[in-house]
Structure 1
């Protein structure tokens, strides 16, 4: 995820500038990619909008059940949010009551399903171009309590927000909740949150619970999040497994190489960083794997400043051999302050063979540093 800090006096102006810049920046960064990257599986596979996003941004929230005269059609039983006038303006709930839900309603006629109406997706600038109904889940006492707390605690959260420690703290309480829907919802939220904000919630659950999740093939989509949580466990069993898996990832690369390398740094610190350095010095890896290991280093440097000296030395060597990674390294280290990397960034930006996209990105990062000073 790319973020950029703009120094403005007005907060609304600052947010608008950030969003506008990200639209342009995403296009430029895409041009610098040597090939399609595996990147972060969470970013690719998990929903871009979470249950919390749909509930908090909804214009209308209702509980619905089957229509008395038509068991296949939903009708509103209770309105949790939204005026009567607004309900008249929007379309009817388009979803049909399937066979599973019909059986549930027959066994308990008081069952209801939570629906929201509002933005179904937004662009990178936070603008919504589509609205519609979203089926959230069948209500239970636990989920009713969850929705109540969410609407109370999350009043000031914005659609798609990830960099909120309060939000992470709230959802960390639902990790490995007995309700699998709430558990999965928490994994989505934790998985897309900045790593430095996730680190403090380590050891919130048992290693055995994490390993059980990790070994389930039907939960593959949550694996990147689970690997990060395993890396944050402090017990010897978790550390032993992480050591085995990150060394294997360094040797073989592939899917989740980034997460295992990052977990390895949590387990072995400087030793893991040195191991990553040795791998990066070789030439037997794909561009995807190379970026995965470099990304693990920059993520560790951002969240654990004590390692920055060693990591900067490695990144300088990487840049000397592979300048195509310069733009992404620049963004990943943009909040580290003045470092020897900036001299390298400037040299690459000024080089006549540097492509315009990379030059643009590097100059933006360098200009940001000047603005801070």
Structure 2
């Protein structure tokens, strides 16, 4: 029997079986289908870092150009697994070969996925980068938590070796926000401003803005407020989510209220601007200070009142936080259907199917604490 999203919303409380099944169906479907807004810092890079490649490899070596056979590799050190001595069927390009000739201590990191398997070059490694790779080679999948990896790599964020700094950026940049909140003692304030003001590292700004948000200095707060004032005046979205997250971290519920009044209360803001603010609220509501969640939920209420077409972007948070007071409003929005895409329809249907007649959520559906 087909069950439409509209029929789920219209009938009110669903059967116990359906209410139990829908979140599990969603677990598989929502990964790709629902509006995603959890990442304040969405890195335009591959998901796997060089550290991941080494951890997942069977064999990892340092190599240079074979003097007896130009543009091919000779292994100098095996730092993970066992190298069988066979020729490595990779071509050493002329640019890399030239760099190696000019820098005798630099080597190339090569990994093999399994004995007799495919070799892959991960790039150049100077002295300290080599040391980091040796340490990472002792890890195995799951042996380090995201927080532990972040703490390990954070000191290298401003390293003079750009390759090592980039690796650290990728590792730290994908850390949970709750972990980033603990990094204020690891990254110096001068380094943060140096990066935020560096026009040649624009893609790095978001991470450092989040770190700046850990400051309670009045001049830092004024800097963030100034950036947000400019963004609001001209409708800018670049790093808007990061600056909004920083403001909330610095000023708490007052920052949430300021952002909601600036963006949610009055119509006229673009969806791009609104979604950047929603990202910030979502991240703070999930990984920020627990006492902020009430203010964030109130801000979501303002968004739903003026911008119902964005309801799908907050439904997942409301479900995870077990916030039931918006059941009537979200059912009304779903029944009206105006401006909702298919993913938003599904997100609202899952939220409503998880709520019982009394406007609360059934036990066991989420892991976060209740907030009515």
TM-score by shorter chain over 0.5: yes
Whichever structure has more helix as a proportion of its residues is 1
Residue 260 of structure 1 is matched in structure 2 by 243
Task: Identify which of 92, 96, 103 aligns with 1:96.
Answer: 92
Unaligned runs of 5+ in 1: 1-16, 120-130
The answer on whether the counterparts of 2:26 and 2:350 sit within 8 Å (CA) in structure 1 is: no
Residue 357 of structure 1 is matched in structure 2 by 343
Please give the alpha-carbon distance, in whole angstroms, between the structure 2 residues aligned to 1:352 and 1:41: 28
Higher relative contact order structure (alpha carbons within 8 Å, sequence separation ≥ 6): 2
Unaligned runs of 5+ in 2: 1-22, 356-360, 366-372
Report the number of matched residues.
331
Which protein shows a greater Rg? 2
SS at match of 2:70: strand
Residue 176 of structure 2 is matched in structure 1 by 194
Task: Identify which of 328, 331, 339 aligns with 2:313.
Answer: 328
The answer on whether the counterparts of 1:203 and 1:234 sit within 8 Å (CA) in structure 2 is: no
Residue 180 of structure 1 is matched in structure 2 by 162
| Change over 3 Å in CA distance of 1:93–1:343 after alignment to 2 | farther
Please give the alpha-carbon distance, in whole angstroms, between the structure 2 residues aligned to 1:102 and 1:270: 56
Residue 295 of structure 1 is matched in structure 2 by 279
The answer on whether the counterparts of 1:60 and 1:118 sit within 8 Å (CA) in structure 2 is: yes
| TM-aligned CA deviation for residue 363 of structure 1 | 3.6
| Change over 3 Å in CA distance of 1:81–1:235 after alignment to 2 | same
The alignment status of 1:276 with 2:259, answered yes or no, reads: yes
| TM-aligned CA deviation for residue 328 of structure 1 | 2.1
Please give the alpha-carbon distance, in whole angstroms, between the structure 2 residues aligned to 1:146 and 1:219: 23
Q: Deviations over 1:65-102 (max 9, x none)?
A: 111223322233333334456x86xx944342434643
Residue 8 of structure 2 is matched in structure 1 by none
SS at match of 2:48: coil
SS at match of 1:372: coil
| TM-aligned CA deviation for residue 24 of structure 1 | 2.8
The answer on whether the counterparts of 1:65 and 1:77 sit within 8 Å (CA) in structure 2 is: yes
Q: Deviations over 1:123-174 (max 9, x none)?
A: xxxxxxxx9544334333322321232233x42438xx9x722222222233
| TM-aligned CA deviation for residue 204 of structure 1 | 2.4
| Change over 3 Å in CA distance of 1:357–1:137 after alignment to 2 | closer
The answer on whether the counterparts of 1:250 and 1:261 sit within 8 Å (CA) in structure 2 is: no
| TM-aligned CA deviation for residue 231 of structure 1 | 1.4
Q: Deviations over 1:158-204 (max 9, x none)?
A: 8xx9x722222222233323433322222212212221221121242
The alignment status of 1:286 with 2:286, answered yes or no, reads: no
Task: Identify which of 140, 158, 176 aligns with 1:155.
Answer: 140
Deviating more after overlay: 297-306 vs 97-106: 97-106
| TM-aligned CA deviation for residue 341 of structure 1 | 3.5
The answer on whether the counterparts of 1:312 and 1:341 sit within 8 Å (CA) in structure 2 is: no
Residue 219 of structure 1 is matched in structure 2 by 201
Please give the alpha-carbon distance, in whole angstroms, between the structure 2 residues aligned to 1:168 and 1:107: 30
| TM-aligned CA deviation for residue 339 of structure 1 | 4.1
Residue 117 of structure 1 is matched in structure 2 by 112
The answer on whether the counterparts of 2:245 and 2:280 sit within 8 Å (CA) in structure 1 is: yes
Deviating more after overlay: 73-82 vs 225-234: 73-82
SS at match of 1:138: strand
